[in-house]
Amino acid sequence: MAKKLCIGVLTSGGDCPGLNAAIRGVVKAAWSMGEARVIGIADGFRGLIEGRAREIDPEEASGLLTRGGTILGASREKPFALRDDEGLSDSQVGLDKPEMIKANYRSLGLDCLVTLGGNGTNTTAARLQREGLDVIGLPKTIDNDIWGTDLSFGFHSAVDIATEAIDRLHSTALSHNRVMVIELMGHKAGWLTLYAGIAGGGDVIIIPELPYDPVAIARHLERRASEGKRFSIVAVAEGAISKAEHKMDKKERKAARAEMAYPSAGYRVAAEIADATGMETRVTVLGYLQRGGVPSALDRVLSTSFGMAAAELAFSRSFGRMVAWRGNEIDSVSLEKVAGKTKRVPADHKFIEVARHMGTCFGDED
């Protein structure tokens, strides 16, 4: 009897709806496609460093499709951080994490490793591939900022949650004649804020890709008020940056923000609006609610399909690749190409144009 294909799976980074559905996809497809075992690695790369892993059995794989979170646990462990950040080899600091990963990969008898994660994870995955492991990436993030794929799973669930939150704020805004600011996730990319902002009918949408001018926003809100519109909804990505900040270097910006001492971007924007217009503002930070809960129908279909595609790549021994969704088809792309990149919203993206025609202000107008 031939040796079974042995596939390791880990989930890395912040959690995200669809992780369990994707794990189920890998596992069920692997069993369906041939002789295979799937080893679940605990707590992301940390578990692989520490050798914590167990074989996934059919009992465990059932019921996963709708469950939030990840049954494997996750961590934000970045195994190459010490090498990179400190300019040291890990061995110099007494702990060479990449070497420990390689050792455990072998002692677990893995033929390949499937990593479910975002940009950081894919970058690590590419590097491990380069250093001799066989790795397959699945694109997971509510930010949708992974290069090489039109969609990552988790994104549309987060858009649904954020849109529902904006819907709720509408009634309060309307009743009280207020500017309601809602801060959504997205440090570098504004996809989530753009989609939820359009879906929720946001009057102002502020994304990291388009530095904003508080004056332009104030002008827009005042124009609305002068037209008798008693309220406004402002959707702000957590990575929002003003035009003034954009001109600073990183250090200046950090100092400027420390001085202002706002808890986060939403509070800063609300204060700027209140200062410039005298309007009453209120801030809601959606936070962790965007990451949790049952995945949406679309994310379940995507996660399951991505999981199956990973199993396919494993059986065809096509390693060093990330599963991708491109032009309405499942596809794959080299991890090397994905590594180190961030897919940001282009300034001329059609949806920005759509939103502008709906009357949305991005704060970048002159």
Q: Which of the residues are catalytic?
A: 143
Nearest approach, Cβ of 111 to its own copies (angstroms)? 19
Nearest approach, Cβ of 251 to its own copies (angstroms)? 26
Element housing 205 (H / E): strand 204-206
Q: Is 53 in the site for its own copies (CB under 8 A)?
A: no
Whole-Å CA distances, 251 to 65, 187, 268, 310, 316? 45, 17, 18, 41, 48
335-354 residues in contact with its own copies (CB under 8 A) are 350-351, 353-354
Is residue 126 within 8 A of residue 339, CB to CB? The reply is yes
Which CB atom, from 80 or from 195, has the smaller least distance to its own copies?
195
Q: Site size for its own copies, by CB under 8 A?
A: 81
Residues 6 or more apart whose Cβ sits within 8 Å of residue 124? 12, 45, 78, 79, 80, 115, 117
List 37, 127, 140, 156, residue binding its own copies (CB under 8 A): 156
SS3 43: coil
List 5, 28, 105, 193, residue binding its own copies (CB under 8 A): 28
Is residue 165 within 8 A of residue 285, CB to CB? The reply is no
Q: Is 300 in the site for its own copies (CB under 8 A)?
A: yes
Q: Is 330 in the site for its own copies (CB under 8 A)?
A: yes
Nearest approach, Cβ of 274 to its own copies (angstroms)? 16
List 4, 51, 69, 274, residue binding its own copies (CB under 8 A): 69
SS3 329: strand
Q: Cβ atoms within 10 A of the Cβ of 260, count? A: 11
Nearest approach, Cβ of 87 to its own copies (angstroms)? 28
Q: Is 356 in the site for its own copies (CB under 8 A)?
A: yes
SS3 187: coil
Which CB atom, from 29 or from 217, has the smaller least distance to its own copies?
29
List 101, 285, 314, 324, residue binding its own copies (CB under 8 A): 285
Rounded Cα gap, residues 11 and 13, in angstroms: 7
Q: Which stretch binds its own copies (CB under 8 A): 82-90, 174-182, 211-219, 314-322?
A: 174-182
Q: Is 201 in the site for its own copies (CB under 8 A)?
A: yes
Residues in the chain, how many? 366
Is residue 208 within 8 A of residue 189, CB to CB? The reply is yes
Nearest approach, Cβ of 169 to its own copies (angstroms)? 6
Nearest approach, Cβ of 86 to its own copies (angstroms)? 23
Rounded Cα gap, residues 19 and 292, in angstroms: 11
Amino acid at 34: G
Residues 6 or more apart whose Cβ sits within 8 Å of residue 313? 136, 319, 321, 323, 332
Nearest approach, Cβ of 184 to its own copies (angstroms)? 12
User: What are the structure tokens assigned to 273, written together?
Assistant: 């609006």
List 39, 52, 60, 65, residue binding its own copies (CB under 8 A): 65
Q: Is 234 in the site for its own copies (CB under 8 A)?
A: no
Q: Is 318 in the site for its own copies (CB under 8 A)?
A: no
Residues 6 or more apart whose Cβ sits within 8 Å of residue 55? 37, 38, 39, 40
Which CB atom, from 71 or from 103, has the smaller least distance to its own copies?
71
107-146 residues in contact with its own copies (CB under 8 A) are none
Q: Is 11 in the site for its own copies (CB under 8 A)?
A: yes
Q: What is the rounded end-to-end Cα distance, in angstroms, of the chain? A: 71
Which CB atom, from 133 or from 142, has the smaller least distance to its own copies?
142
